[in-house]
């Protein structure tokens, strides 16, 4: 009891001392925290203002190099590991309380945090009270802020439809209940911000990883192309979806009326402006490159100037308009996240057969499992981009002994089950890159494939713990070219579309297109965009805006099962290597739903607003189907 009373007495004395001090020094709490800077100082100091704007770029996160990739909510890849929410998106079971997978690069809350920082920048630097006298620097920072605001709004709009347009920095006493703007209003504002950025950044050279006038033009091209598409033309969207047709507020999803031809023309003009102002890479060929050069060209583009591997052309960096660059290992471990488990990698986002099967033969014809010759050797004579994107059974890869020991002198991907001679017995062994691997068996591909597109091919970087300095391409020149082709087709300007489609294909070592009608050329273009832009966060958005998701994203995933059986009179002892003179290989495409049971639901044309956001903002109306 005495101890308790003594404690209470001591506490009382302490309170009296504190109150005495506070009464003597009324500004006791009015001190600047040592880790913060007063707002007025930021906008009067060029270095601090630049630092503030630089921080806004953190909204880019890792770009598309997050461990879970957007390719895995499309018909490009399967995410290997469970319980990440990707399967919920693909099954169409997401809802306002269970959003499934959400990435930091398009999270509703995080985008608005960055938008607020853009609004502060624009307010402070547009006024007369700031102390930055260097007009060039002030325009640069304003241009960056306008671009970033446009980009972050674009991220929200292409996932969710229209959102509340907030163009000022809110104070604590402001009303935070704000209605969604219309889709048309959102697009108009994004384009306006792009135009501001184009003007203010014109003639200015910024470091790699920061925006430019050309990047703002590329963003404008993308936004206007999306705005002209089926999903955002409400009469068209209603005719294709009962969910959208029954929605009470279609103005949140697209244009209710207006001249759609004018929207396609705006997209065409914006894309052509990028083409005329940019450089691109090897898009001046009059005939197809060789298969070897086509593969090297595509791999060089994917490296974005970030690889020292033999055969990778650093000049391909000219293709990149805006990239996310990485300076140390902690930033980006794409190879570790996605490479083969037989190299101690994690097999994160593995290509599915639906993508692999869409790569054409080198003569431009479609690959088919019903063709006996193609089924017997499915990985021969394919589009050269296939060999720069997909790792398949028997493909040569990096020196395995650098990471896994001398178990594979041939350095080949092994995703099948093979006969081996062991003494007088023939045994069946699982490949080193399967889920039955003797190296690691918990993280192998379910699909029988791996991606290599953004993995540095440098053989000296075999260990996944070594850094890879490959940038993520937010915008590259060829996207603008493809945007121009699409708008040309929709405007029935087919000769322009064919010219630029062929330039892309020639660079890749593929023959000219043969389609002549608008409908046929549209199909060819969509296929070409799928292949050229694989794993670049295009397919998920393309299939939705074209409203072909039921027959693309809604398909069941296909895997490949591979066996290698000895030919009569032939044997091989360990270590195994791919050898068609010794083995008869059997390739069996298999549809499986054990990992994911994909099903399309039209509500997923637009992502839901979370229940928390709806509760916080009573004016925020939910998307259709939720």
The phi, psi pair for 324, rounded to 5°, reads -100, 115
The count of domains in the chain is: 2
Q: Could you tell me the CATH number of the domain that includes residue 224?
A: 1.25.40.390
Residue 502 placed within a domain: no
Same domain, 271 and 333: no
Where does the pLDDT of residue 332 fall: very low under 50, low under 70, confident under 90, or very high at 90 and above?
Answer: low
Same domain, 129 and 219: yes
pLDDT digits 0-9 by tens, 294-311: 999 999 999 999 999 999
Where does a domain end: 257, 277, 297? Answer: 277
Residue 29 placed within a domain: no
pLDDT number for residue 34: 55
Give yes or no for residue 31 having a pLDDT over 60.
no
Residue 475 placed within a domain: no
Where does a domain end: 218, 251, 277? Answer: 277
Interval 472-498 mean pLDDT: 98
Residue 98 placed within a domain: yes
Where does a domain end: 236, 260, 277? Answer: 277
Same domain, 243 and 367: no
H/E stretch holding 417: strand 417-422
Same domain, 272 and 338: no
Residue whose tokens read 């009470």:
248
Residue 43 placed within a domain: yes
CA 506 remoteness from chain centre: 25
Residue 140 placed within a domain: yes
Same domain, 268 and 350: no
pLDDT digits 0-9 by tens, 486-522: 999 999 999 999 999 999 999 999 999 999 999 999 9
pLDDT number for residue 427: 98
pLDDT digits 0-9 by tens, 171-203: 887 888 999 999 999 999 999 999 999 999 999
Q: Measured on CA atoms in the order 315, 319, 320, 321, is the torsion positive or negative?
A: positive
How far, in Å, CA of 142 to CA of 588, rounded? Answer: 56
Give yes or no for residue 14 having a pLDDT over 60.
no
The DSSP output letter for 67 is S
Same domain, 343 and 250: no
Same domain, 244 and 131: yes
pLDDT number for residue 18: 35
Interval 36-46 mean pLDDT: 78
Same domain, 273 and 355: no
Same domain, 340 and 265: no
Domain that holds residue 459: 326-470+558-591
Give yes or no for residue 360 having a pLDDT over 50.
yes
Same domain, 256 and 376: no
Write the CA distances from 334 to 19, 229, 299, 304, 470, integer angstroms: 56, 32, 16, 14, 9
Same domain, 151 and 273: yes
How far, in Å, CA of 372 to CA of 390, rounded? Answer: 22
Residue 103 placed within a domain: yes
Same domain, 234 and 337: no
Interval 24-37 mean pLDDT: 52
Residue 261 placed within a domain: yes
pLDDT digits 0-9 by tens, 50-91: 999 999 999 999 999 999 999 999 999 999 999 999 999 999
Interval 436-456 mean pLDDT: 96
Give yes or no for residue 12 having a pLDDT over 60.
no
Burial class of residue 409 in the structure, from the number of CB atoms within 10 Å of its CB (0-12 exposed, 13-18 middle, 19+ buried): exposed
Mean pLDDT of the chain: 93
Among 394, 399, 404, 476, residue whose Cα is nearest residue 438: 404
């Amino acid at each position: 009891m005495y101890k308790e009373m003594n404690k209470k007495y001591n506490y009382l004395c302490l309170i009296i001392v504190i109150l005495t001090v506070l009464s003597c020094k009324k500004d006791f709490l009015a001190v600047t925290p040592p880790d913060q800077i007063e707002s007025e100082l930021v906008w009067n100091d060029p270095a601090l203002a630049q630092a503030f704007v630089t921080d806004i770029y953190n909204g880019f996160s890792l770009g598309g190099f997050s461990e879970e990739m957007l390719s895995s909510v499309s018909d490009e890849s399967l995410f290997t590991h469970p319980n990440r929410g990707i399967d919920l998106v693909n099954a169409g079971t997401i809802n306002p309380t269970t959003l499934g997978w959400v990435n930091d690069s398009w999270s509703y809350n995080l985008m608005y945090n960055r938008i607020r920082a853009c609004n502060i920048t624009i307010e402070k630097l547009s006024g007369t009270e700031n102390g930055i006298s260097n007009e060039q620097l002030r325009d640069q920072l304003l241009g960056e802020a306008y671009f970033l605001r446009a980009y972050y709004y674009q991220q929200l709009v292409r996932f969710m439809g229209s959102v509340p347009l907030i163009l000022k920095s809110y104070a604590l006493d402001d009303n935070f209940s704000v209605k969604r703007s219309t889709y048309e209003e959102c697009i108009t504002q994004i384009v306006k911000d792009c135009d501001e950025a184009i003007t203010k950044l014109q003639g200015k050279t910024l470091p790699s990883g920061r925006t430019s006038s050309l990047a703002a033009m590329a963003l404008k091209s993308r936004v206007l192309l999306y705005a002209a598409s089926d999903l955002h033309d409400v009469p068209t969207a209603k005719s294709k979806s009962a969910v959208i047709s029954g929605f009470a507020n279609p103005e949140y999803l697209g244009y209710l009326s207006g001249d759609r031809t004018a929207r396609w023309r705006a997209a065409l003009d914006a894309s052509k402006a990028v083409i005329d102002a940019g450089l691109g890479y090897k898009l001046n060929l009059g005939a197809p490159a060789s298969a070897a050069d086509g593969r090297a060209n595509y791999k060089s583009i994917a490296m974005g100037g970030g690889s020292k591997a033999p055969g990778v052309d650093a000049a391909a960096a000219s293709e990149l308009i805006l990239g996310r660059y990485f300076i140390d290992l902690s930033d980006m471990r794409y190879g570790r996240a996605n490479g083969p488990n037989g190299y101690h990698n994690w097999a994160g986002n593995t290509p599915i057969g639906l993508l692999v099967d869409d790569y054409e033969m080198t003569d431009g014809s479609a690959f088919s499992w019903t063709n006996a010759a193609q089924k017997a050797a499915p990985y021969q004579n394919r589009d050269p981009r296939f060999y720069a994107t997909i790792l398949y059974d028997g493909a040569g890869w990096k020196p395995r002994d650098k990471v896994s020991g001398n178990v594979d002198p041939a350095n080949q991907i092994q995703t099948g089950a093979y006969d081996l001679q062991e003494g007088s017995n023939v045994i069946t062994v699982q490949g080193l890159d399967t889920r039955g691997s003797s190296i690691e068996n918990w993280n192998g591909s379910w699909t029988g494939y791996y991606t290599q597109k953004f993995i540095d091919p440098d053989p000296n970087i075999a260990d996944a713990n070594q850094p890879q300095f490959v940038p993520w391409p937010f915008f590259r020149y060829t996207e603008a070219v493809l945007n121009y082709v699409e708008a040309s087709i929709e405007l029935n300007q087919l000769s322009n579309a064919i010219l630029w489609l062929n330039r892309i294909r020639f660079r890749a070592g593929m023959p000219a297109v043969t389609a002549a009608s608008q409908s046929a050329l549209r199909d060819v273009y969509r296929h070409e965009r799928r292949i050229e832009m694989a794993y670049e966060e295009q397919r998920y958005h393309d299939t939705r805006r074209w409203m072909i998701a039921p027959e693309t994203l809604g398909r069941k995933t296909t895997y490949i099962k591979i066996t290698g059986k000895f030919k009569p009179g032939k044997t091989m002892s360990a270590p195994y290597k791919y050898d068609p003179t010794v083995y008869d290989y059997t390739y069996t495409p298999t549809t499986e739903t054990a990992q994911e049971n994909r099903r399309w639901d039209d509500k997923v044309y637009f992502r839901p607003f979370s229940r928390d956001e709806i509760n916080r903002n009573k004016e925020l109306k939910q998307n259709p189907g939720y």
